[in-house]
Amino acid sequence: MFGVTLRRAEVALFLELAIAYGCRPSRTAPDAVRELSHSDGHERRKAAGDIVDAARDDGSLPPQVADELLERLSLETDPVTRHKIMMALVEIGDSRIHQALYEYMQTTNYAEQHARAPLYRTYLVKTGRHPADGCFPRDWPYGTPGFPAPANAGVVWIEDAPAPPKFMLKAEIGATARFLFGSPVLGFDIDNAFGARTKSGIWGARIGMFHGETAEGLYVAQYRIGPFWEAPTEFVRPIVMPRLTLLDIARHTHSGPPMISLGLGLHAGLAFDLWRHELDHGVFVSVTGGFDGAPEDYFLPGATIAFGGRY
């Protein structure tokens, strides 16, 4: 196995963070608004997303862009693009969207209510109808006059997951406890993921590592890569993660070559959303457990608790 050094850990961490937070291309709102008439629904979604980013960054949009958004709103048939057009108009506090937004709020679907309520709240703040530092009750405005009652959450399969799929990045850092040769291994764990949110769940690939040590003086590092799947459920999402692993063991008091071993593993767990925005962005805590190993070489069961975010 390779020796475990601080420099190697720093390089691995840098590479993982670079993957997780790669630069995204950008374009101006006038450039993006021209793509809203594209025949490809995916291109329209990307264009609408760029306009939302511009509205948030600048706090305004050119008048011709706002006018075009209002015109496209009545023509757009793709639900995700339509939602993003409303988001852009809400971000600049355009009161001309009031009636369309009110009608948009008339839904009894839990996932739709969860995504649309923040839109309406932001609209009231941006148009000065509610103080910026004020709080909204849970589920508001649902359950108030003029709006449907709040839908029951339960375990909800998200019906409006994007099609075509929407690209997603995740990054997590946490603590892990493993057992190797009968000894506990305590350490830190870093994991990054990229993939797509679809109607059948979140599919993608994960790359990660953990570094730890035992009371007997063993340095233990594991590097892993593999596919993953998350159920498209609300707030609590089951996760399944098969992976290919590389285990690296070295001793404090031994100057010889470290041990190295390839292996396979399977981990599963749950991710608990602490905060979500538009069903895409979020902050979460995950609890996972499972095993890694190689026949006649090693067996490495354990569990990890991590804090992360996704975009």
Q: pLDDT digits over 185-228, tens only?
A: 999 999 999 988 777 788 899 999 999 988 888 888 999 999 99
DSSP 166: E
3 has pLDDT over 60: no
Share the mean pLDDT of the chain.
82
pLDDT greater at residue 295 or residue 267: 267
Predicted pLDDT of residue 33 = 85
For domain 162-310, give the fold: Porin (2.40.160)
pLDDT of residue 188: 93
Contacts 24+ apart (CB under 8 A), 103-109: 105/141, 105/142, 105/147, 106/147, 106/148, 107/148, 108/148, 108/149, 108/151, 109/151, 109/159
pLDDT of residue 11 exceeding 70, the answer is no
| pLDDT above 80 (res 280) | no
Query: What pLDDT is stored for residue 99 in this prediction?
Result: 92
What was the pLDDT predicted at 20?
A: 40
Report pLDDT for 10: 43
- Whether residue 264 is predicted with pLDDT greater than 50 in this model: the reply is yes
Helices of type H across the chain:
6-20, 29-33, 41-58, 63-73, 79-91, 98-104, 110-126
| 29 vs 22: which has the higher pLDDT | 29
Residues 6+ apart with CB under 8 A from 119: 83, 86, 87, 90, 101, 104
pLDDT at 135 over 50: yes
CB 308 within 8 A of CB 239: no
Fold of 29-126: Leucine-rich Repeat Variant (1.25.10)
Domain ranges for the chain = 29-126, 162-310
User: Residue 84, exposed/middle/buried by CB under 10 A (0-12, 13-18, 19+)?
Assistant: buried
